Structure 1
Amino acid sequence: MAPTPPLSVADAGDAAPASTPTFPRTEHYRRFHRVDSVTPTERGLLAELHGERLEVVAVRPDVVRIRISRGGRFDETPSPAVCVDPLATHVEVTTEVDDDVARVRTAELTVSIGLVDLTIDVHRADGSAVIETARDHAGAPWAYATLNDAFVVRRRIAPPDAIYGLGEKSGRLNRRGRDFTLWNTDVLNPTSSGEFTAGRDADDPRADRMSTEFDPYYVSIPFFHHLDAATGAVGGSFLDNGYRTAYDFTPESEYAIHAGGGQYCEYVFAGPTMARVLEAYTWLTGRAALPPLWALGYHQCRWHAYRQEDVAALAARMRAERIPCDTLWLDIDYMDGYRVFTWDAEKFPDPAALIDGLAGEGFKLVTIIDPGVKYEPGYAVFDDGVARDVFCRTEGGDTYIGQVWPGDTAFPDFATAEAREWWGDLNAAHVASGLAGIWNDMNEPATGEIAPERMLFDGGRASHERFHNAYALLMARGTVEGLRRAMPELRTFVLTRAGSAGIQRYAANWLGDNVSRWDHLWMSLPMAAGFGVSGQPFVGADAGGFGGDAEPELFLRWMQYAALTPFFRNHTVAGTVDQYPWSFGDDVADLVREAVGLRYRLLPYLYSAFVRAGETGEPVQRPLVFDHADDARVRDLDDQFLLGRDLLVAPVLAAGATEREVVFPAGTWHCWHTGEVVTGPATRTVATPRERIPLYGRGGAVVPLLPEAPATTAGLRPDLLELHVFVPGQDGEWVSALQEDDGVTNAAADGALVRTTFTLRHAGDEITVVAAADGAGYEGFARTAFRLVVHGPAPREVEVDGVVVTPDHDGTVTFGNDGRDAVVVLRT
């Protein structure tokens, strides 16, 4: 399908393709005004207005839910996003009702409902605004309006304020000045010539970064952060509604949220930091499960008609070239006529033998599974789906038919538990031969040239619009639940193209079909950062670009960058030049090997960042504004990022670049490669030689590394880890963490781990690093020592557990004590 054009509140109702839902113009909406009555409740209030009911409930001291009934009734599950009982937590609430206003107060926020002219405002305890109702040109408030089940809310915003979030969106990280549509869409499609485009001619010499602004995209997450530029405070909004939605941030002093149907149900987060907002949002919608360690390694993929012997040869070449790699992937050509859950017996006569052989070399294998089931009587999966009545239907009761890879295609009705269970069992049977994970594609759902709106859900009882955006989430849920039933002891890995709020509970996301162009390399930075601040930490772009022919310099710079992102997969389309690590000559291969090797050495740090993401919701790849919202310089910065809390990454984004500007927030920053120290806040132009991209460690951090890069994570049980200590330039205390476990099973959830907390204290000429370990350990744990590597002035004296020790010839200090608790003092 061709990409759907952006839709704003301002131009809603203009001509659009017949299959594209449109919104009425806002002047036609019925605005809600006077509140008829208000009744205090145990957790808030309930108001009557215009035949509907307005409910305000305190969910937590810092979170409130506001909803308006539809047809006089509240929908208790407006979408599959929320995964906790939002009212299970006790909250101290007071209410008061005056002649003009009703208020709900918690310790951290106050909700005020204007009774004469409806307004809905939320303020923090200090009086600062989280949301405030906008007013029209006559000064009258406009909080909520509706027409034919669609509704719109309007809010005030100051001109310099910033907006972040909405999940996977192209263009700049700060969403101000643009409008967005949330309607999962297969964005990039091959043209008739087979050339992949992105909203314009791929060969246009006027290519620039803004050519990457096209919308809607594969993933729809109706959640965003609002940063108050005057104070640095951040609030958040999550609209629990899966219908097609538009966000308009183009006006100077207001923004609008417009949904095409369903119930208005919004969660408002007081913050006042991005971290606090994201913690609350992911508490509500779930956090990413701890991934298997191998999923954090390097992944090699290509859409190519591999044969069984080709895959084995690829694995052998990867080891011969000494490129660390954990996973090989198979795209759609491994199947028999694109029939899901089948193998092409001619190309793959013995998949189990292939998988066993790969496992012996430390490789995992992942295959693609689309939701479309070939409409073909006699095909076992189709026949079983018909017999179980698990396919989507039309209004007339027929099986809905789309047109994708297998031709005529039926689609499972993932809105039903029966379909999800059936699908999960199919996936479990598919991986029973030893496959490591599942790759979900085409799950927007993409239906080819046939419009999807006739596809109904929940046994034909629910409209397509209600479940369209939720389709991929429900598919991933069914997949993961099936894998967990079959293999409860193992962690699951699912990669998905589409998704919606809560997708992080079940799957990682890649950024969809991109192109081998410098602007698409840049595009992946703000897109991944937007995902991260929207609750999905496990993201990455197709390194090197999917469509088009990569050039050696672009490929190298992309691999150097991608090696420092959460999900690292090299993937390209059939019919393009090879972009294996060795495809561009020995010089590029050597530098790619070095970049991939650095990632593998950083796995203890990266893995621990994923542990933190699962516990707090914070991103692994994060924009600088996430940690430094008080620094106005970084609010619009989207060409560099933090990997975890402590590594600053500034990729090379232009051909021939030998230097680039890097913005450093407050603190001390050590160049990973040269040891140069920069004290922030500062902006510097730094060298970008071909062999590396700028990488800096934060002063005060303790970053754990493997001493050398392994070929694979299979069987990885290091007996020694390096602790890279980055000396801060000022006195203070910093905390870092390391988690070690078996990396494969769920035993860590029951305490089978070693969690070490590093507390670094700097006072005058003395640095003390306290390592405190917790956890029961795990089978195979082999580490007996740490090696301390100091970044900064060489210490004149080192003391370990009260004993002065002599550093090794390279200045490092190795200490044992079972590699667990220790106190190290560095005197400079």
Structure 2
Amino acid sequence: MKFTDGFWLVRDGVRISYATDVRDVRSGADRFTAHAAVRKVTGRGGTLNAPLLTVDCFSPAEGVIGVRVTHHAGKRRPGPDFALTAHGGEAARVRRDGTVTELTSGPLTLRLDESAPWALTFHDADGRELIRSGRKGTAFAVTGDGAHHMVAQLALGVGEQIYGLGERFTPFVKNGQVVDIWQADGGTSSEQAYKNVPFYLSSRGYGVFVNHPGAVSFEVGSESVGQVQFSVEDQTLEYYVVAGPTPKDVLTRYTALTGRPALPPAWSFGLWLSTSFTTSYDERTVMSFVDGMAERGIPLSVFHFDCFWMREYQWCDFQWDPDVFPDPEGMLARLKEKGLRVSAWINPYIAQKSPLFDEAAALGHLVRRPNGDIWQWDLWQAGMGLVDFTSPEARAWFQSKLKPLLDQGVDCFKTDFGERVPTDVVWHDGSDPERMHNYYTHLYNRTVFELLEKERGHGEAVLFARSATAGGQQYPVHWGGDCWSSFEAMAESLRGGLSLSLSGFGFWSHDIGGFEGTPEPSVFKRWLAFGLLSSHSRLHGSSSYRVPWEFGDEAVDVARRFTLLKQRLMPYLYGAAAEAHRTGVPVMRPMVLEFPHDPACRPLDRQYMLGPDLLVAPVFTEDGEVEVYLPEGTWTHLLSGGKVTGPAWRTERHGYDSLPLYVREGAVLPLAAEGTRPDGDWLDALTLLVHPPTGPEYAAEVTVPDATGAPAAGFRVRREGDLLRVTESGGGRPFTVRVAGGASAEGTGEVTVPLA
């Protein structure tokens, strides 16, 4: 939100008060509180008839410093609030030196000088100033309608770039943008977002998290061009500065605070196929799709039933449409016999025609208006109400309606919607409706995820969720929402996924081929390669099917090729997944995350690293022309074996069966045997594809996880003259070592391969 009129003036009807004069600082061992007048006080009279801002500075965790700015402290705070894990903050310490007060937590120090004009400065471990909240950096503003906003500004350095703020489809680098943190069902072609996260990451090696679950307005160099400004309509504004020095360090600290992603089950990394949305389907159609994939040699892991598995006008009643699926238990058993898992679509709304509407209303499980009426509208489902997940009884009730589906054989749920949440309502727990608007999806996804964990066991729970906010990364997987079926939508989807990955989310997917419309065969085939080189892969559309043979024989070949490739990559991918679960570093990584010191990588949004060692550049053209940047080092094309030395920009041309897919120098890529299931035994005929750098010194280690993410075997690779020696520990199984473009050998325990 903008408050100023250019540099000198404020907008009509706006009054802004800035922290100006430090009146006192009260410090403890690990925190301090400053009181700042909003004008220079030159005498006792200056303390009258003017506001005083209270600024609390503290550390909830190592390397994280919080700032809480309050105007009037008496405002009622009904919640909700983000559930944060405070740990390691006890290591923080305060130091006073004359007029200077410093709070240090790990490599981060906050400094305030009482003798100088108001400024909060944050410094890294070397004393370098990372950020400054200067003379207009701490304020409140009252607008013409009487609304009270707390405002903060943090300076942008020369060349500094800002990323994240959720799954945003606007330009990847957020400089110059206005970003409103407010859930909306706006598709992928606008400034609106399904997944709004009030956290951004800077190219200077720090992050900022605004601890407010409601509406947060960011002006990223868009009002004051040298500042990131954020504001909330409240009496208090709390934000955390998260230390690096690398972007990975920032994400590790941030996700330690807001929650790490659960590890999805290995089977979820295989190919998902959907009925699509408004298409006509029954068991015969479903089985024709499943059998058609098998007949064409395209491995399938999950079959998804979209909305119309339930009766029209009754979403949700959680009952199979008896006219279309007269024998759901038998059908699910037949799908299980084919080795498939089953996903079912749900949403948090109860249509008036559903038998559950009256039941939920009588039990008090639907959100109500202030006058006691149930909140209803006709947008999406006729007369629908909204389940009140702030009520423990409503959450248990909702879970009780899903459990019979799990008993029938459903394995997971697509938790769709959750964005259009009204603010003119009363919540069961008294939550502030404005704060609950964004937070609602968190309660929704958590309710379903916890049921899956309880019924399916730890490590087996997985969602296909559309909406989320800070902390939502704990309940994977999330997909990119409703995109068009075009190259442009394919590119905007990738931008959204990369922004989400820099907002703490470890796993992400999208609708292969696009959701709305029917893609041209060229779009579908290019999207297949992109989709099957994402953390999770789903074929899904709106009004048309997404089975590959609808798009020609070549599409079938492309689907088969990249599905089989992904399954071979599972030991590598699941290792990256385990890392995301353990550290918060995502599976799909923007180039700036893996190469933060390479300036050419900072704006790149049409390529990414899949795990630490695979560079993927999807092709967004029919003719196969694609630009790709390769950072420093020797890169080997995984499919062709060709080598390229970076740093270099390249223009390449690829057929539909290829794309820029490069392996990083020094990588040891563990590959499963041909035909291994995504959740198969990866140590059975494992191959280690080694990409040694030139030069006499080379040593590397790689761990192959089992299907729980635990280490199953470790391999130590080292160069000894003209030999490559690989020593295995833990597995005790035969394995093959292959040098990229060179020799290979097989053995147990220790394998030696000539490099020449």
Task: Please indicate, yes or no, whether the TM-score normalized by the shorter chain is above 0.5.
Answer: yes
Query: Using a 3 Å threshold, how does the CA distance of structure 1 residues 513 and 63 change in structure 2: closer, same or farther?
Result: same
Work out whether residues 150 and 259 of structure 1, in 8 Å CA contact, stay in contact via their aligned partners in 2.
Answer: yes
Compute the RMSD of aligned alpha carbons.
Answer: 2.6
Per-residue CA deviation, residues 357-412 of structure 1 (Å, 9 max, x unaligned), is 00110111111111111235xx5533332343222121222221132433111112
* Counterpart residue number, 1:816: 748
Partner of 2:48: none
Q: Shift of the alpha carbon at 1:731? A: 5.0
Aligned to 1:241: 212
Match of 2:737 in 1: 788
**Residue 16 (structure 2) aligned to one of 16, 29, 33:** 29
Matched with 1:638 is 605
Which residue of structure 2 aligns with residue 455 of structure 1? Answer: 425
Report the secondary structure of 1:432's partner residue.
helix
Give the secondary structure class of the aligned counterpart of 2:384.
strand
Query: Counterpart of 1:46?
Result: 33
**Separation in 2 of the partners of 1:489 and 1:628?**
34
- Cα distance in 2 for partners of 1:359, 1:786 equals 32
The DSSP-based 3-state class of the residue aligned with 1:29 is strand
Structure 1: which amino acid aligns with 2:322?
A
Instruction: Tell me what 1:449 maps to.
Output: none
Q: Cα distance, 1:699 vs. partner?
A: 1.5
> What residue identity is the alignment partner of 2:404?
A
User: Which residue does the alignment assign to 1:343?
Assistant: 320
* Matched-pair contact (CA < 8 Å) for 2:210–2:239: yes
For 1:300-311, list aligned pairs within 5 A.
Answer: 300-301=273-274, 302-303=276-277, 304-311=279-286
Q: Output the amino acid matched with 1:486.
A: E
Please give the alpha-carbon distance, in whole angstroms, between the structure 1 residues aligned to 2:546 and 2:456.
35
Question: Which segment is superposed worse, 64-73 or 273-282?
Answer: 64-73
1:604 to 571, 585, 600: 571
Q: Structure 2: 5+ residue runs without aligned partners?
A: 37-50
Q: Distance in 1 between matches of 2:106 and 2:78?
A: 28
Alignment deviations for residues 307-363 of structure 1 (CA, whole Å, 9 cap, x no partner): 122212221111111111111111111112333212111111111111110011011
Q: Which of 554, 579, 582 is matched with 1:615 structurally?
A: 582
Tell me if structure 1 keeps the 8 A contact 2:89–2:105.
no
Q: What is the CA-CA distance between 1:734 and the residue it aligns to?
A: 5.4
Aligned partners of 2:682, 2:593: CA distance in 1, in Å? 34
Give the Cα separation in 2 of the matches to 1:34 and 1:458: 43
In structure 2, how many angstroms separate the alpha carbons of the residues matched to 1:568 and 1:598?
13
Distance 1:825 1:814, change over 3 A: closer
CA drift of 1:46 comes to 2.1
Cα distance in 1 for residues equivalent to 2:210 and 2:13 = 19
Q: Give the whole-Å Cα distance in 2 for the aligned partners of 1:370 and 1:553.
A: 33
Query: Does the Cα contact within 8 Å between 1:733 and 1:759 map onto a contact in 2?
Result: no
Q: Structure 1 residues 692 and 290 mapped into 2: Cα distance closer, same or farther (>3 Å)?
A: same
Find the partner of 1:220 among 196, 203, 210. 196
Aligned to 1:393, the other structure's residue is in SS state: coil
**Once the 2 structures are TM-superposed, how far is the Cα of residue 670 of structure 1 from its aligned partner?**
0.7
DSSP 3-state at the match of 2:581: helix
Shift of 1:71: 3.6
Residue 624 of structure 1 deviates from its aligned partner by: 1.1
Q: From the superposition, tell whether residues 666 and 433 of structure 1 become closer, same or farther in structure 2 (CA, over 3 Å).
A: same
Of 255, 266, 269, which residue of structure 2 is paired with 1:296? Answer: 269
Partner of 1:624: 591
**1:39-118 equivalent positions in 2, closer than 5 A:** 39-49=26-36, 50=51, 53-69=54-70, 71-72=72-73, 80-84=81-85, 86-87=86-87, 89-96=89-96, 98-99=98-99, 101-115=100-114, 117-118=117-118
Q: Distance in 2 between matches of 1:221 and 1:656?
A: 37
Give 1:355-754 correspondences, 5 Å limit.
355-376=332-353, 379-445=354-420, 452-459=422-429, 461-489=430-458, 491-574=460-543, 576=544, 578-657=545-624, 659-710=625-676, 712-713=677-678, 719-730=684-695, 732-733=697-698, 735-743=700-708, 753-754=710-711
Q: TM-score scaled by structure 1?
A: 0.83
Cα shift readout 1:729-751 (whole Å, capped 9, x = no counterpart): 345555453343345xxxx6xxx
Please give the per-residue CA displacement for 1:97-136, whole angstroms capped at 9, x wherever unaligned: 644x4321245222123446432221113122232014xx
- In 2, the alpha carbon distance for the partners of 1:76 and 1:680 equals 54
Q: Is the 8 A contact 1:60 1:89 kept in 2?
A: yes
Partner amino acid for 1:813?
Answer: A
Change (3 A) 1:124 1:791: same
Q: Which residue of 1 aligns with 2:124?
A: 124
Q: Structure 1 residue 773: deviation in Å?
A: 3.1
1:211-251 residue CA offsets vs partner (Å, 9 max, x unmatched): x4x212111111111113xxxxx111011111112211224
Matched position secondary structure for 1:222: strand
1:586–1:708 CA distance, 2 compared to 1 (3 A): same
Q: CA deviation at 1:455?
A: 2.9
- Distance in 1, Cα, partners of 2:747 & 2:264: 30
Q: Deviations over 1:606-644 (max 9, x none)?
A: 111100100111111111111111111111111111100
Instruction: State the 1:535 CA deviation.
Output: 0.9
**Aligned pairs for 1:188-207 within 5 A:** 188=187
Cα distance in 2 between the residues matched to 1:431 and 1:355: 11
Residue 41 of structure 1: how far off its partner (Å):
1.9
Amino acid in the other structure paired with 1:622: R
From 138, 143, 150, the equivalent of 2:138 is 143
Please state how far the C-alpha of 1:427 moved relative to its aligned partner. Answer: 2.4
Relative distance call for 1:403 and 1:732 in structure 2 (3 A) is farther
Could you say what secondary structure the match of 2:577 adopts?
A: helix
Residue aligned with 2:394, SS: helix
The letter for the 2-side match of 1:288 is P
Letter of the 1:594 counterpart: R
Give the conservation status (yes or no) of the 8 Å contact 1:8–1:179.
no
In the alignment, what sits opposite 1:270?
243
> Per-residue displacement from partner, 1:25-47 (whole Å, max 9, x unpaired)?
79423333333332212321123
**How far has the Cα of 1:552 moved from its partner?**
0.9
> Conserved in 1, the CA contact under 8 Å of 2:65 and 2:105?
no
Q: Which amino acid aligns with 2:516?
A: G
Structure 1 residues 289-312: Cα deviation after superposition (integer angstroms, max 9, x where no partner): 111111101111111232122212
For residue 323 of structure 2, give the secondary structure of its aligned residue in structure 1. Answer: coil
Letter in 2 for 1:237: V
Matched residue SS, 2:431: coil
- Give distance in 1, aligned partners of 2:505 and 2:136: 35
Query: Is the 1:222–1:238 Cα contact (8 Å) retained in structure 2?
Result: yes
Q: Is the 8 A contact 2:78 2:432 kept in 1?
A: no
Distance in 2, matches of 1:330 and 1:11, equals 52
In 2, Cα distance between equivalents of 1:128 and 1:224 = 20
Please state how far the C-alpha of 1:24 moved relative to its aligned partner.
8.6
2:157: which partner in 1? 158
CA distance in 1, matches of 2:336, 2:681: 14
The answer (yes or no) to whether the contact 2:16–2:139 under 8 Å persists in 1 is no
TM-score (normalised: structure 2): 0.91
Using the alignment, how far apart are the partners of 1:76 and 1:758 within structure 2?
Answer: 54
* Alignment partners' CA distance in 2, 1:641 and 1:475: 31
Cα 1:434–1:685 change in 2 (3 A) is same
Q: List runs of 5+ in structure 1 lacking aligned partners.
A: 1-6, 13-22, 135-139, 189-197, 199-211, 229-233, 447-451, 775-782, 795-810
Aligned length: 728
> Structure 1 residues 118 and 182 mapped into 2: Cα distance closer, same or farther (>3 Å)?
same
* Aligned twin of 1:175: 174
Confirm or deny: 8 A CA contact 1:62 1:109 kept in the other structure. Answer: yes
Q: Is the 8 A contact 2:271 2:538 kept in 1?
A: yes
Which amino acid letter does the alignment assign opposite residue 24 of structure 2?
A: S
